[in-house]
Structure 1
Amino acid sequence: METFDVVVVGAGSAGAAVARRLADDDALRVLLLEAGGPDVNPDIHDPGGVFRLWGGPEDYDYRVAPQTRLGGRRPHWPRGKVLGGSSSLNGMIFVRGAPADYDAWGPGWSYPEVLPYFKRLEDFDRGAGDYHGAGGPVRVIADYAPHQVNAAIVAAAVEQGMPFNPDCNAERPDGAGFCQLTIRHGRRHSTADAYLRPRCDRPVLEIRTRARARRLIMRGRRCVGVEYAQDGRLHRVEAAHQVVVSAGTVESPRLLLLSGLGDAAGLRRHGLAVVEDLPGVGRNLHDHALVPVIVAARRPVPPALPGLQPMHSQLFWRSRPGLPGPDVQPLFFHIPLYDEDMTGPDDAFTLMAGIVRPESRGHLALTSADPDAPLHIDPAYLRASADRACMLAAVELCRELTHAAALREWAGPELYPGDRELSEHIERTLVTYHHQVGTCAMGTVVDQRLRVHGIDGLRVADASVMPAVTSGNTNAPAIMIGERCADMVREEIGS
């Protein structure tokens, strides 16, 4: 069996950062396993191609369980199955969330403790400062000319009393402004581009694509390697020091469960031997959610700008007093986002009402011991009454913005929800904000140093370890988790 010092499972937002930072140390041999293929699809690299990627070969294309609060609908979850993971499929929006978000993550994860890692990973186009870094792997842009409609919606929010915030990643995210984006020279800057491509020729880092991990190899209570499938054959590799699972909020818990790490009764139901009874694996699943407000345009909407995606303006807002951070994050598009049951003109635009501090908690579970069997995924959208109230407030806020004078030259009739009852519109149109977290949470599944409880030599590092989701897009925090994990592994090996 081949032996590496560290085996990393998953080349996504966190896994690419883990592998690259460890491979910067010439003393460590690192193997990175990615279930998907190389990132050769041109739509990955074109910021305007984001929607063309969904449902394609680079997408896991999950469907969640029927949602009781959504009329039994099963929303689609696009997730990256390619080098760069979901950073190769996402909207390229770079948001850290409110500093207070990290207080819920436990010792060692307060905002002052994670801020140096955010700065380390960043190459900010405005340069370094108290809240930003320059020269890091990930290019983040803030100084660009926005689309006219995106700019008008931001102006409408300011007119309605929201502060203009030129930097949502500084002291406070609250207010309206333009998104910071992971775009470099007009192309998506995924973690494959940022972390892996500059180091892919280093002999200490080996990357294997189309290599899907099927189980962890255990020796007693120590993880010693990974079994994976590639080209129709099973392979086994050994890790002399550590295995780091960075397969994402859906695939990381699946791998742990298939390896006997999870709720003992559930594992036995599928004939799996129990290595460690960890009931938290797969629990605590939660996600941000979006609902569209679509408005017909009074005049032709200009085409998309080269090198930008259509959603590059946003608003952070608190629906009620007493919150430690915003709970609403509408995202603004200069195109209409009609679903399969909607019709309307091409000249229209969308204000997506988003909730980003959900109280609802769901779970995922195996349906079989077969690694290729579909999972049961239940995010429990809007199960908590507070989430329903928050989404209603978010939709009403977006509707109000369309009546501002700043949008007068653009905003025609409201197409959706129009005259439909709001709760019915929410039930019929709610979709994921693509920010699923929590299924291997710190505290219940891993400790504050990301080590799986009861097992030596095994860590999890991705969005699944977040005990509570950040109040904003999750790509930046996931990369930060990968950066921190690499330091933790190196420190442990060195000691």
Structure 2
Amino acid sequence: MGSKSVIVVGAGSAGAVVARRLVDAGAHVTLFEAGSEDTNPAIHDLSRMGELWHSKDDWDYHTVPMAGAANKPMHLPRGKVLGGSHALNATIWVRCAPQDYDDWAKDCGEQWAWKNVLPIYKDIENFSGGASKFHGTEGLVPVDNDYELDEIQQSIIDAAVQSGIEFNPDYNGEQLDGVSKEQINVVGGERINTWKAYLKPVRERLEIITDAEVHSVILESGTVVGVRYQKGGQLQELRADEVVLSAGALGSPQILLRSGIGPAAELQAVGIEPLHELDQVGKNLHDHLLAPVIAETTTRDIPAPRTGVSVSQSHMFSRSRADLDRPDTQPIFFAVPMYSPGMEPIEGTAFTLHSGIVTPHSRGEITLSGPGLEDQVNIDLNALDDPRDLEAFVYSMKQCRAMVQQDALAQDWGAREVYPGNEVKSDEQLGEYIRNNVVTYHHQVGTCRMGTDAQAVVDPQLRVRGLAGLRVIDASIMPKITTGNTNAPAILIGEMGAKFLVADLGL
């Protein structure tokens, strides 16, 4: 039997992992990436992260205007480059709550339970704090917890503690709750993503086709046999024994829908012939959301960002209600002002305590407007549609506002809240402020949901239901979003999916 050929679509957090594991197992791998090489210096220097939004390395997606977000659209940056969104993000390493995985396992099998994914996480990481029952040091992904905090970031942590929040030295340890220094994927001031850590060292062992956007998969008699892709303005085809979609929670469902895999009536309505009915493709879209508390410093200036150092170094996990079994809020703290669209800039230096929710109840969807790559995609997070989301958000915003009042910020930096501002007092006013200024935490998931029920898009081994030769391996498979940043879980999903596929291919 000859080597199996596999096409992997997307060189992001999960796709790079899948491609590497397949190469190691002896498969013939062709990797498609819609973007280019990661030559932009801003990718490698975390202090320049803001330059990447709206750049050529960003898909630059926008949602439709959303009622829950004051009828405004929201910018959703996504990586269009080798490295994917892990080339654009803040590289924060969060494994999230053990209960997240145990919830998945109830429906999708014990392999997804926390006790079984923790050893995989340990195998993935090279933790600066040394090996322990929670951490590994032999993995390909560097996790740094030893860098020096900027003074303003230390003051933010101190202010959280002064306001009654416990300091947690390791949120990837015993528990998530508390205020913590972020653990990040950085070595010597340089961002390390899975493209660099997994794939770049073996790039001679696979074929990588950049600047090539996959339009659809080729479906013949219930089996996927290849992909159609556009490169240099030409639509071309490539065939393989197996196709893996790792194009992310916004990309993978679009490819399925353009392939005629999805809700039949919706596809027909936009001129696509339905070939395989799967009603939930593109549904169950959800995301973590943020809204800023921005304070100016009146007695001393915050130094400018340093090369190779992120403007975010601390965050916090908290429960908005005592009866919750895990945190539902995760504010993230920045040494610079993070203005929402339409905000007037502050003249002096300022910092941002970005209040945030990580257990959204609202669900949205992705739909197409036509069959072509140039046809507009409609992305609707349906943000803040469920009233429970706003309740948790208001709680988080109040926590952030209280931090600004503490001595570590108010006295030591002369911190003074500018946004929302003193005139915003009641819960109703706070809710209105949040709706007007809500932004994404860059964690879209759920659009190719994993499950064992008839509505699931993929099964617990991440095979697309009812089809042979096709898997989805990325954050789109999450039935429900994790409690915290989704990059580490996406890498875990890459490792899990690769293991299933290698076993199925008999490699």
Q: CA RMSD in A?
A: 1.3
For normalisation by structure 2, the TM-score amounts to 0.94
CA contact (8 A) 1:246 1:460 kept: yes
Alignment of 1:82-481 (within 5 A): 82-105=81-104, 106-107=108-109, 108-202=111-205, 205-240=206-241, 242-297=242-297, 298-339=299-340, 340-407=342-409, 408-418=411-421, 419-420=423-424, 421-443=429-451, 444-481=456-493
CA contact (8 A) 1:4 1:31 kept: no
User: Aligned partners of 1:200, 1:293: CA distance in 2, in Å?
Assistant: 44
User: Aligned partners of 2:131, 2:442: CA distance in 1, in Å?
Assistant: 29
- Three-state SS of the structure 1 residue aligned to 2:78 is coil
Q: Deviations over 1:49-79 (max 9, x none)?
A: 1100000100000110111022211010000
Q: Where does residue 10 of structure 1 map in the other structure?
A: 10
Deviation at 1:171, TM superposition (A): 2.1
User: Aligned partners of 1:183, 1:475: CA distance in 2, in Å?
Assistant: 14
Deviates further, 98-107 or 448-457: 98-107
Deviation at 1:158, TM superposition (A): 1.5
Per the alignment, do residues 473 and 396 of structure 1 end up closer, same or farther by CA in structure 2, a change over 3 Å counting?
Answer: same
Task: State the number of aligned residues.
Answer: 489
Q: Where does residue 43 of structure 1 map in the other structure?
A: 42
User: Aligned partners of 1:4, 1:86: CA distance in 2, in Å?
Assistant: 28
Deviation at 1:234, TM superposition (A): 2.0
- Three-state SS of the structure 1 residue aligned to 2:157 is helix
Q: Deviations over 1:342-395 (max 9, x none)?
A: 221231111000100010001110111112211111101110010011111111
CA contact (8 A) 1:4 1:238 kept: no
CA contact (8 A) 2:384 2:435 kept: no
Deviation at 1:103, TM superposition (A): 2.1
CA contact (8 A) 1:101 1:471 kept: yes
User: Aligned partners of 1:411, 1:139: CA distance in 2, in Å?
Assistant: 37
Q: Give unmatched runs, 5+ long, in structure 2.
A: none
CA contact (8 A) 1:217 1:227 kept: yes
Deviation at 1:24, TM superposition (A): 1.1
- Three-state SS of the structure 1 residue aligned to 2:204 is coil
Q: Deviations over 1:98-157 (max 9, x none)?
A: 111112223121111111221121111122221111121111101111111111111111
Deviation at 1:4, TM superposition (A): 6.1
Q: Deviations over 1:437-490 (max 9, x none)?
A: 000010210010000000011100101000101111101100110011111111
Q: Deviations over 1:168-196 (max 9, x none)?
A: 11121111110000111110101211111
User: Aligned partners of 2:373, 2:305: CA distance in 1, in Å?
Assistant: 41
Deviates further, 121-130 or 256-265: 121-130
User: Aligned partners of 2:381, 2:129: CA distance in 1, in Å?
Assistant: 38
User: Aligned partners of 2:83, 2:330: CA distance in 1, in Å?
Assistant: 25
CA contact (8 A) 2:215 2:372 kept: no
- Three-state SS of the structure 2 residue aligned to 1:200 is helix
User: Aligned partners of 1:81, 1:289: CA distance in 2, in Å?
Assistant: 22
User: Aligned partners of 2:58, 2:188: CA distance in 1, in Å?
Assistant: 25
- Three-state SS of the structure 2 residue aligned to 1:37 is coil
User: Aligned partners of 1:28, 1:381: CA distance in 2, in Å?
Assistant: 41
Task: For 1:22, give the aligned amino acid.
Answer: L
- Three-state SS of the structure 1 residue aligned to 2:450 is coil
Q: Deviations over 1:225-257 (max 9, x none)?
A: 1111111222211112x2110000011000001
Per the alignment, do residues 384 and 411 of structure 1 end up closer, same or farther by CA in structure 2, a change over 3 Å counting?
Answer: farther
User: Aligned partners of 1:69, 1:211: CA distance in 2, in Å?
Assistant: 36
Q: Deviations over 1:301-359 (max 9, x none)?
A: 12223321101100100000222211010101111122443221231111000100010
CA contact (8 A) 1:216 1:226 kept: yes
Q: Give unmatched runs, 5+ long, in structure 1.
A: none
- Three-state SS of the structure 2 residue aligned to 1:491 is helix
Among all aligned residue pairs of Structure 1 and Structure 2, give the percentage whose two residues are the same amino acid. 45
CA contact (8 A) 1:313 1:331 kept: yes
- Three-state SS of the structure 2 residue aligned to 1:322 is coil
CA contact (8 A) 1:4 1:237 kept: no
User: Aligned partners of 2:370, 2:234: CA distance in 1, in Å?
Assistant: 21
User: Aligned partners of 1:305, 1:369: CA distance in 2, in Å?
Assistant: 45
- Three-state SS of the structure 1 residue aligned to 2:236 is strand
Deviation at 1:411, TM superposition (A): 4.0
Deviation at 1:216, TM superposition (A): 0.2
